Structure 1
Amino acid sequence: MALSLDGQAVHFSHEAVTAGASQLLLPWIESLLSDAKSSLKDLDAIAVCIGPGAFTGVRLGVAAVQGLAVSQNIPVVPVCSLDAIAAQLLDSAALQSSQPQRLMIAIDARMDEVYWASYDIQDRRLPNRIGDIHLTKPEDLNLEGVQFLAGSALNAYRQRLPQFTGLIDPDISISALGILKCAQQSLQDGVHCEVRQLEPLYVRDKVAFTTAERVEGKR
């Protein structure tokens, strides 16, 4: 989680959990606000990652933000996971030194597939996503013109990705800091939504294999 208040230093908390996030999330939020000597009513907006990503985690985050925003009538800022990772990448030493014009974020989508999107990098702005977010087999990434490739798909499918000779960052993952960067830019641009409009971003319609499909995949 990350909290920005009136230009002060960002309050940031990150803790990886394997289970029980639904019981921990609200106490974490309360603790972060308490440490900053603030409360929900002081916020101009609440940002949340809407996916694509793990179904349960995305739904939990969206549901929690819906409840918090409704309680204080606060607007919300939906942030795409790949956009947030691209925003975080701007702070990496490798990207700053190489100054690529185009980068791609590709993350493991499970089920033998990858979520990916390409971005143009502009001065003093966050990376600009080119077109839609794609869901394909690892072999079908379109790396034409890409100079920097990052995301969990590199570790999950390294041997199956198209040949790539540019710079890579296989270890970067989504963080609240990236979500915050995107949300701040959106608010500056006047982009937010009412809580009733908030919903997860579903790039994939199918979320599970049938038994027959699982058996076929083992052959």
Structure 2
Amino acid sequence: MNLLAIDTSTDACSVALLSGGELSGHCRVEPRGHTRLIMPMVRQLLAEQGLAMADLDALAFAAGPGSFTGLRIATGVIQGLAWGLELPVVPVSSLQAVALELAQNHDAGEGDGMAVAFDARMDEVYWGCFQLVDGLPQLLAPERVCPPEQVSLPEGCSRWLAGGSGWRYADCIPDSVTGSVNPPNPALAPDARFVARLAAVAWQQGKAVPAAQAQPVYLRDEVTWKKLPGR
């Protein structure tokens, strides 16, 4: 299987290719540069692996939660490719991708938990708790957006790893949570390589969707816009 994955849900822009069981990819951190960077990065990666767009079997993208603009960019790119190439798409949770990265970075074992938080702006975080089962992070409770003071950890995990930009609000997170996790890594962001790994499993499980059903996951239904002074 040749699976191409992209992620533009944060300031980082990344692409990955899973081909013949081998994983390769590129990542660049350039806020507001996603539209300009993403397709040249895709073409470069395919060229490096000696593949053409027509050789792809499936597409994947980090569907969110994350930056509204970034998610719209990723959705538009992946839908355009899927329609043009007539390929299925696997949407992947951005929080789950970081959970898998946490598990790998810390050599997590079965039963370990991953508490992932993204900065959702407006003094809120996107929050997801996962447990490692058969080597993959499984969601323990619905992903949500809330003030950092309201996050909590489900029971049953042997230890908790923590990461994601939302952990910069650690001072606002309840002591019952911060006291239960390993030192968090606020610099950890979604990476298309981990999106590709999760997507390959989902694809094999028949969870791919047509292009029209490849939609972003915002979690927040409404955005409060502050009117600028004098306007």
TM bucket (normalised to shorter chain) is: 0.7 to 0.9
What is the aligned partner in structure 2 of residue 54 from structure 1? 67
For the pair 1:79 / 2:95, whether they are aligned, the reply is no
Partner Cα distance (2:33, 2:131) in 1: 38
Q: Give the 3-state SS of the residue equivalent to 2:122 in structure 1.
A: coil
What is the aligned partner in structure 2 of residue 25 from structure 1? 38
Partner Cα distance (1:101, 1:187) in 2: 25
What is the aligned partner in structure 2 of residue 198 from structure 1? 214
5+ long unaligned stretches in structure 2: 1-14
Offset, 1:50: 1.0
What is the aligned partner in structure 2 of residue 3 from structure 1? 17
1:116-141 Cα deviation digits (max 9, x unpaired): 01112113x31100231111110000
Q: Give the 3-state SS of the residue equivalent to 2:71 in structure 1.
A: helix
State which drifts further: 61-70 or 102-111.
Answer: 102-111
Partner Cα distance (1:149, 1:100) in 2: 15
Aligned residues: 208
Structure 1 vs Structure 2: percent identity of aligned residues?
31
Partner Cα distance (1:118, 1:162) in 2: 15
What is the aligned partner in structure 1 of residue 3 from structure 2? none
For the pair 1:133 / 2:133, whether they are aligned, the reply is no
5+ long unaligned stretches in structure 1: 215-219
- Bigger share in helix: 1
What is the aligned partner in structure 1 of residue 202 from structure 2? 186
CA RMSD of aligned residues (A): 1.9
What is the aligned partner in structure 2 of residue 148 from structure 1? 161
**Amino acid paired to 1:85:** V
Partner Cα distance (2:38, 2:114) in 1: 32
**Amino acid paired to 2:210:** E
What is the aligned partner in structure 2 of residue 112 from structure 1? 123
What is the aligned partner in structure 1 of residue 224 from structure 2? 208
Partner Cα distance (2:76, 2:198) in 1: 20
What is the aligned partner in structure 2 of residue 217 from structure 1? none
Q: Give the 3-state SS of the residue equivalent to 1:49 in structure 2.
A: strand
Q: Give the 3-state SS of the residue equivalent to 1:132 in structure 2.
A: coil
- Matched-pair contact (CA < 8 Å) for 1:88–1:177: no
- Matched-pair contact (CA < 8 Å) for 2:129–2:154: no
**Amino acid paired to 2:203:** L
- Bigger share in strand: 2
